[in-house]
Structure 1
Amino acid sequence: MSSSKFLVNGPRPLVLCGPSGSGKSTLLKRLFDEFPYTFGFSISHTTRAPRANELNGVHYHFVDHQTMKEKIANDEFIETAVFSGNTYGTSKAAVRDIQQAGKVCILDIEPQGVEQIKKTDMNPILVFNNPPTIKDLEIRLRKRQSETEETLQKRLAAAVDEIAYGLKAGNFHKIINNIDIDDSYIEFRDFVVDELKKQEAKGVTIRWEQ
Structure 2
Amino acid sequence: MPARIPDGPTAPGARLTVLAGPTAVGKGTVSADVRARYPQVWLSVSATTRAPRPGEVDGVHYHFVDAPTFDRMVAEGEFLEWAVVHGRNRYGTPRTPVLERLAAGRPALLEIDLAGARQVRAAMPEARFVFLAPPSWAELERRLVGRGTEGPEERERRLATARVELAAESEFDHVIVNDEVARATDELIRVMGVPGG
TM interval, short-chain normalised: 0.7 to 0.9
User: How many pairs are equivalent?
Assistant: 191
Partner of 2:190: 190
Task: Summarize the Cα distance change of 1:86–1:25 in structure 2 as closer, same or farther, 3 Å threshold.
Answer: closer
1:1-210 equivalent positions in 2, closer than 5 A: 6-10=7-11, 11-37=14-40, 39-83=41-85, 84-99=87-102, 102-121=105-124, 123-166=126-169, 168=170, 171-193=171-193
In structure 2, distance between residues paired with 1:75 and 1:112: 17
Task: Summarize the Cα distance change of 1:131–1:85 in structure 2 as closer, same or farther, 3 Å threshold.
Answer: same
Partner of 1:205: none
In structure 2, distance between residues paired with 1:160 and 1:4: 35
* Structure 1: runs of 5+ lacking an equivalent: 198-207
Whether contact under 8 Å (1:5, 1:121) holds in the other structure is no
Whether contact under 8 Å (2:8, 2:99) holds in the other structure is no
Whether contact under 8 Å (1:45, 1:61) holds in the other structure is yes
Task: Summarize the Cα distance change of 1:100–1:140 in structure 2 as closer, same or farther, 3 Å threshold.
Answer: same
Whether contact under 8 Å (1:46, 1:88) holds in the other structure is yes
**TM-score (ref. length: structure 2):** 0.85
- Residue by residue over 1:134-168, the C-alpha shift from the partner in whole angstroms, topping out at 9 and shown as x without a partner, is 221121122221112221111111111011012x2
Residue type at the aligned position of 1:128: F
Whether contact under 8 Å (2:33, 2:182) holds in the other structure is no
Give the drift of 1:53.
Answer: 1.2
Identity %: 34
Task: Summarize the Cα distance change of 1:114–1:73 in structure 2 as closer, same or farther, 3 Å threshold.
Answer: same
**TM-score (ref. length: structure 1):** 0.81
SS in structure 2 of the partner of residue 119 of structure 1: helix
- Aligned-residue Cα RMSD (Å) equals 2.4
Task: Summarize the Cα distance change of 1:35–1:183 in structure 2 as closer, same or farther, 3 Å threshold.
Answer: closer
In structure 1, distance between residues paired with 2:103 and 2:10: 9
SS in structure 2 of the partner of residue 52 of structure 1: coil
Whether contact under 8 Å (2:9, 2:103) holds in the other structure is no
Whether contact under 8 Å (2:20, 2:131) holds in the other structure is yes
